[in-house]
Amino acid sequence: MKYKSLGRTEISVSEICLGTMTWGSQNSESDAHAQMDYAVEKGVNFFDTAELYPTTPVSPETQGWTEDYIGSWFEKTGKRREIVLATKVAGRGRDYLRGGEGADAKNIRLALEASLKRLKTDYVDLYQVHWPNRGHFHFRQNWSYNPFNQDRDKAVANMLEILETMGALVKEGKIRTIGLSNETTWGIQKYLTLSEQKSLPRVASVQNEYNLLYRHFDLDLAELSHHEDVGLLAYSPLAGGILTGKYVDGGRPKGSRASINPDIGGRLQPLQEPATKAYLTLAARYGLDPAAMALAFCLSRPFMTSVIIGATSMEQLKTDLGAAELTLSDEVLAEIAKVHRQYPLTL
Q: What's the CA gap between 285 and 253, in Å, rounded?
A: 25
Q: What's the CA gap between 128 and 84, in Å, rounded?
A: 13
88 forms beta bridges with: 128
Identify the H or E element spanning 89.
Answer: strand 84-89
Kindly report whether the peptide bond that precedes residue 54 is cis, defined as omega within 30 degrees of 0. Answer: yes
- Spatial contact of 321 and 42, defined as CB atoms under 8 Å apart: yes
Identify the H or E element spanning 76.
Answer: helix 65-77
DSSP percent split of the chain into helix, strand, coil, nearest 5: 45, 15, 40
- Reply yes or no on whether 53 is catalytic: yes
User: CA dihedral in degrees (67, 263, 92, 137; nearest 10)?
Assistant: 120
Active-site pick, 3, 38, 53, 286: 53
What residues are annotated to the active site? Answer: 53
